[in-house]
């Protein structure tokens, strides 16, 4: 018995099949692009948030080191002085008032060259220009009359600093008493320079263990 096999001629794809495949590829490509864009935005948000957190952490580290070495008022006849202020930025941040507080207090810092502790006055403030806002730590020697403050630490993009001082009963917006406060509460706001809508604020309370 002879068996004859017939093969179906290869006709290729029909126009309908091609259109269907192209439309499916278009949908897949669009979904992939949208997903890529979302992941990119999420990654940028994460990087921005981590950068801002790191910036504020560095500022609070400077405060922490100085408050750990703060000197009592009787030791140097200088106490803690905290000034309340605010500033309006209408150029870039839509007429927003930013806290612009400053604080200064005496500290003892070890001098390894002389193997001794030297006394300094440290001052924290924000200096503003038309282009930026800088968080700055100034240091001047207490035992030298009319010593010129020297900039020892600075970071860009710190927009606001609010400082409150506890007397054990309430938080005060300023401090100019002979005795030291019981605690100091500091709030800082940092902004992403590439996107002003991205910003974070953090607050830390430092206990003062001297009077």
Contact 46, 198 (CB under 8 A): no
Whether residue 8 is contained in a domain is answered as: no
Q: How many domains does the chain have?
A: 1
Whether residue 176 is contained in a domain is answered as: yes
Whether residue 78 is contained in a domain is answered as: yes
pLDDT at 156 over 70: yes
Structural tokens at position 65: 């080191």
The model's pTM is 0.77
Query: Residues 6-22: pLDDT tens digits?
Result: 555 555 556 666 667 67
Whether residue 34 is contained in a domain is answered as: no
Query: Residues 170-211: pLDDT tens digits?
Result: 999 999 998 999 999 999 999 998 888 888 999 999 999 998
Whether residue 10 is contained in a domain is answered as: no
Mean pLDDT value across residues 43-59:
86
Whether residue 19 is contained in a domain is answered as: no
Whether residue 15 is contained in a domain is answered as: no
3-state SS, 22-88, equals HHHHHHHHHHHHHHHHHHHHHHHHHHHHHHHHHHHHHHHHHHHHHHHCECCHHHHCCCCEEECCEEE
Range of the domain at 193: 44-207
Helix (H) or strand (E) holding 19: helix 15-68
The one-character DSSP state at 143 is T
Whether residue 65 is contained in a domain is answered as: yes
């Amino acid at each position: 018995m002879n068996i004859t096999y017939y093969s179906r001629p290869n006709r290729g794809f029909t126009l309908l099949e091609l259109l269907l495949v192209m439309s499916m590829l278009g949908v897949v490509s669009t979904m992939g692009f949208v997903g890529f864009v979302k992941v990119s935005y999420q990654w940028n948000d994460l990087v921005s948030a981590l950068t801002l957190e790191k910036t504020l952490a560095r500022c609070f580290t400077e405060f922490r080191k100085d408050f750990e070495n703060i000197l009592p008022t009787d030791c140097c006849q200088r106490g803690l002085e905290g000034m309340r202020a605010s500033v309006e930025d209408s150029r870039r941040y839509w007429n927003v008032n930013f806290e612009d507080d400053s604080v200064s207090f005496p500290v003892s810092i070890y001098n390894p060259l002389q193997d001794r502790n030297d006394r300094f006055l440290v001052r924290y403030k924000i200096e503003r220009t038309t282009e930026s806002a800088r968080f700055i730590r100034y240091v001047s020697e207490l035992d030298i009359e009319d010593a010129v403050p020297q900039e020892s630490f600075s970071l860009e993009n710190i927009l606001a600093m609010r400082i409150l001082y506890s007397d054990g009963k309430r938080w005060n917006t300023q401090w100019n008493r002979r005795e030291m406060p019981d605690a100091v509460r500091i709030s800082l706001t940092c902004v992403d320079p590439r996107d002003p809508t991205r910003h974070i604020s953090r607050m830390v309370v430092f206990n003062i263990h001297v009077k």
